[in-house]
Amino acid sequence: MRGQSLTTLARRLVTIPLYVGLFGGALCALPGILIITAIVDVARGTPWGATRSVLFFIWYLMCEVIGVMMSGMLWCAALITGQLGGVRYVDWHFALQWWWARMVLRGAELTLGMRFEVEGDCDVGAGPMVVFIRHASVGDTILPAVFLSGRHGLRLRYVLKRELLWDPCLDIVGNRLPNCFVRRGGADTEAEVAAIGRLAAGVRRQEGVLIYPEGTRFTEAKRARILAKLEQMGELARADQARQLRYVLPPRAGGSLALLESLPAADVVFCAHVGFDDITRFSDFLDGGLVRKTVRVAFWRVRAVDVPRDRDARLDWLFRQWKRVDDWVVERRQPGTATGARARQHPMTIDSRGA
């Protein structure tokens, strides 16, 4: 525990000054930066992609700095009032989390001209619930915080990759709330699966646990490696299933099943989305890859009684639902197909019973 505290302190001694310095430096140099990005945009003939992207990055840094300041103020207020670690202390940080996510999304709308179209969120309802969301970019982390927590007051506990601890707001606020930070793309170790299972303890009506069942962001290279590994292990049936998925990775069993087993009375919500897919590197973002982009998001809910109890049956059920996520993504990424055309004309019907 002491070693973890020292690691956390060392990390924050790097990230907090870095983000504050970047924000302050960007503000001071803003006129010069805008001149440079304007020249780049004119030379490229792009719709102010670099300029808009830099403005959003500064907005994001502003949200980080304000979030860190507010987290410090909340800690001081809790210390003075004796609420440190108490119920109100947690309430304050959930509110701060929702504010941060809304501000980041609002900044994307204002600076990048992004649009967000959501379907099915009105049918989500109350918890307890387990949320499975597709992972295509770091940008998709704000979707559940805005469209589930912000709109419905749901308190979501997150299973997140440890690399996100280098974001100071996620590090500070995320560690004051019930969340679990795991290694990205690594094996589902017994310790991490157990930690994910413990995260579900005490989940109440207006709460839920969210996990990215793929374990890492989708890329074609990762898909090929997973298929090859399944074949080498002799998991031919699973490999055949995984081969059917075109834009998502097959769900990993460890953490996903641990949540379902820990919350047998919880409904399951699935989240599919498109719009962030082509932003795989920071250079893609700076090139204006998100400018005037429309992000489409869909939610659907499956009742707890419709989730199989047997482990193998539950894995097959999870794959069928994940195939449904992939089918939805295929239709939106390939709008020229017949199914894509129908999807634009007739929004997806949300089936509470699942597939």
Q: What is the pLDDT of residues 284-297, one digit of tens each?
A: 888 888 999 999 99
> Is residue 349 very low, low, confident or very high in pLDDT (cuts 50, 70, 90)?
very low
Between 65 and 2, name the one with better pLDDT. Answer: 65
Residue 230 lies in a domain: yes
CA distance 104 to 97: 11
β-strand 129-133 against 294-302: which pairing, if any? unpaired
Residue 44 lies in a domain: yes
Which phi-psi region, left, alpha or beta, contains residue 215 (left: φ > 0; alpha: ψ -120 to 50)? left
Residue 351 lies in a domain: no
Residue 16 contacts residue 68 (beta carbons within 8 Å):
yes
| 39: phi then psi, degrees, rounded to nearest 5 | -65, -45
Domain count, the chain: 1
* Helix/strand/coil for 83: coil
What is the helix (H) or strand (E) element at residue 12, kind and residue range? helix 2-28
Cα of first residue to Cα of last residue in the chain, in angstroms, is: 44
183-198 b/e (C-beta count within 10 Å ≥ 16 → b): eeeeebeeebbebbbe
Residues 163-204 pLDDT 10s? 999 999 999 999 999 999 987 655 567 888 888 989 988 888
Window from 21-30, 40-49, 118-127, 342-351 with minimum mean pLDDT: 342-351
Residues 77-123 pLDDT 10s? 999 999 898 899 999 999 999 999 999 999 999 999 999 999 987 77
Residue 190 lies in a domain: yes
pLDDT score, position 121: 76
Residue 191 lies in a domain: yes
Residue 276 contacts residue 306 (beta carbons within 8 Å):
no
Q: Which domain holds residue 250?
A: 2-345
Q: Mean pLDDT across the chain, nearest whole number?
A: 87
Residue 350 lies in a domain: no
Residue 331 contacts residue 340 (beta carbons within 8 Å):
yes
- Tokens standing for 343? 């999807």
**Diameter of the chain measured on Cα atoms:** 62
For residue 288, give the nearest of 30, 32, 57 by alpha carbon.
Answer: 57
CA distance 24 to 97: 23
* Helix/strand/coil for 180: strand
To the question of pTM greater than 0.75 for the whole model, the response is yes
pLDDT score, position 278: 80
Residue 354 contacts residue 300 (beta carbons within 8 Å):
yes
Residue 155 lies in a domain: yes
Residue 353 lies in a domain: no
- What residue has token string 């049936």? 237
CA distance 348 to 270: 13
